[in-house]
Amino acid sequence: MRLQAKIALITGGARGIGFAIATALARQGAVIAIADINPQGANAAAAKLREAGAQAHGFVVDVADPRSVETLLKDVTTQLGRLDILINNAGIGGNTPFLDITLENWNRTIAINLTGAFIVAQACARRMVAQGHGGKIINIASLSGQRGGNGRGAYGAAKAGLELLTKVMAVELSPHGINVNNIAPGAIETEMAATAHDAATRSAYNYLVPMVRYGTPEEIGDAAVFLCSDEARYVQGHTLNVDGGFRAAGLMFG
């Protein structure tokens, strides 16, 4: 119970990596606020956690809309009292060749994956600073933000921006006792990966990743528990790659 009674907000927590992180934090005693653009999904996910004995609540948010984020923060802090942990996870996939990226596609990807992450992070950090007892912020970046993968122009640019923003946040929020770090997942078995990765990409990844398999959402949940725990109090502005050794091997795949 390393996170006993901590209040944790997870954006995009209705499914996939977000839900796995919510589950992992709940097992450590955290009170969970799942916020998602899909309200039924958020409520169903919270209900699943309650069935398992956790304290969990569902909320709706569109991270790309500052008013929606403000309403979320008001609702969470009114209902749950304060905010200790943000898992800034909501995002959309993207796999379009550079020459085919439309401005609409580019703007939508940046609006959710970078601007949306900024809006949520800033709103939560302001609450944490005002509360005056520190906090933990984890941004969910991606290996696609560290290398030039085929089709990852808009998605990778957004994630690279988020990784850099994390470093600035870590520097500026250190005096307030707030730890800000990234998790950069490799390929993880979720609906996003199922949509973005065709059969050729899957077999190329499995061939090139030293651990010869996709990761599971639960493996990202375990990494998040560490970064949210007191044991990680001196980890600041770091990107934790959770990728089965893919980045360490330094090989290319599409």
Nearest 5°: phi and psi at 123? -60, -45
Residue-by-residue DSSP string for 86-154:
EEE-------B-GGG--HHHHHHHHIIIIIIHHHHHHHHHHHHHHHTS-EEEEEE--GGGTS--TTBHH
**Contacting ligand NAD within 56-95 (CB under 6 A):** 61-64, 89-92
Tell me, yes or no, if 207 is annotated catalytic: no
Give whichever of 170 and 246 is closer to ligand NAD, judged by the CB atom.
246
Is residue 12 a contact point for ligand NAD (CB under 6 A)? yes
Give whichever of 174 and 203 is closer to ligand NAD, judged by the CB atom.
203
Nearest 5°: phi and psi at 23? -65, -45
Give whichever of 174 and 195 is closer to ligand NAD, judged by the CB atom.
195
Distance, in Å, from the CA atom of 180 to the CA atom of 88, rounded to the nearest integer, reads 11
**Contacting ligand NAD within 178-217 (CB under 6 A):** 185, 187-188, 190-193
Distance, in Å, from the CA atom of 156 to the CA atom of 77, rounded to the nearest integer, reads 33
Listed ranges 34-42, 70-78, 221-229, 231-239: which one lies at the site for ligand NAD (CB under 6 A)? 34-42
Is residue 36 a contact point for ligand NAD (CB under 6 A)? yes
Distance, in Å, from the CA atom of 93 to the CA atom of 194, rounded to the nearest integer, reads 10
Is residue 142 a contact point for ligand NAD (CB under 6 A)? yes
Distance, in Å, from the CA atom of 254 to the CA atom of 211, rounded to the nearest integer, reads 18
Give whichever of 54 and 141 is closer to ligand NAD, judged by the CB atom.
141
Listed ranges 22-30, 36-44, 101-109, 244-252: which one lies at the site for ligand NAD (CB under 6 A)? 36-44
Distance, in Å, from the CA atom of 121 to the CA atom of 138, rounded to the nearest integer, reads 9
Nearest 5°: phi and psi at 87? -105, 105
Give whichever of 36 and 84 is closer to ligand NAD, judged by the CB atom.
36
Is residue 17 a contact point for ligand NAD (CB under 6 A)? yes
Tell which residue, 177, 155, 169, has the closest CA to residue 238: 169
Catalytic residues: 155
- Where on the chain is the footprint of ligand NAD (CB under 6 A)? 11-12, 14-18, 36-38, 41, 61-64, 89-92, 112, 116, 140, 142, 185, 187-188, 190-193
